[in-house]
Amino acid sequence: MRTTKNNMQDIEPFYNWRHLYSSEEDDRSPFYGRVYSEFEYSNTVYNYYIHPQWDEIGSPTLYIKILFCDYEQEFAIIELLGEWNDAIHNDIMILKRDLIDELINEGIKKFILIGENVLNFHASDDCYYQEWFDDIEDGWIVAFNFREHVLTEFQKTGIDYYVTYGGEFNNTPWRTFAPSQLLIYTDTIINKRLN
């Protein structure tokens, strides 16, 4: 579902894997112990309230949800909402330091980023993306269903060297997969591209 500014408060993080994983109940998650309201809307993007199930990471415009994390298979699926702004808010530094580093420290090497609700991207440089890539030897970062203009900005900044996207990853019906199936699907495409 594509987000417009007018319906942002109706966009919830994907809920169908909650019986498999919830970050607030995972004692290895940065969001362990968080309590959510279903009724109090306090966070905003562009002055539009967003659903209270989204997690703050310290950015005024970018919110996330860890939809799934498997420490044995070393992968995480993270959904994003809002505006990704490295130029003004240095969102990639916040994301890397406060979320990704913690997951890497717990052994996560494969990251699936769901970006269909990322409205805009404003680039700065690629330093933190390179650091993220370097920190996950034998792993990968894949961007699913990001908007075309966001991917164009990724490419202009050279982020495409560190984050894989495009082709099948642009129109994947990821909600129809179980998390482990999505991992296999992603691994298969990446291996095909490498070969």
* Res. 4: pLDDT tops 70: no
Per domain, the residue ranges of the chain are: 5-11+58-194
pLDDT digits (tens, 9 = 90+) for 8-62: 788 999 999 999 999 999 999 999 999 887 778 788 888 888 888 999 999 999 9
Cβ-Cβ contacts under 8 Å for 136 (sequence gap 6 or more): 104, 108, 109, 110, 111
Conformation bin of residue 145: beta by default, left when phi > 0, alpha when psi is -120 to 50: left
Per-residue HEC secondary structure of 99-126 comes to: HHHHHHHCCCCEEEEEEEEEEEEECCCC
The answer to whether residue 73 scores a pLDDT higher than 80 is yes
Of 3.30.750.24, 3.40.50.1370, 1.10.3470.10, 3.10.450.50, the CATH number of 5-11+58-194 is 3.30.750.24
Average pLDDT over residues 136-161: 95
Q: Is the pLDDT of residue 2 over 60?
A: no
The one-letter amino acid at 162: Y
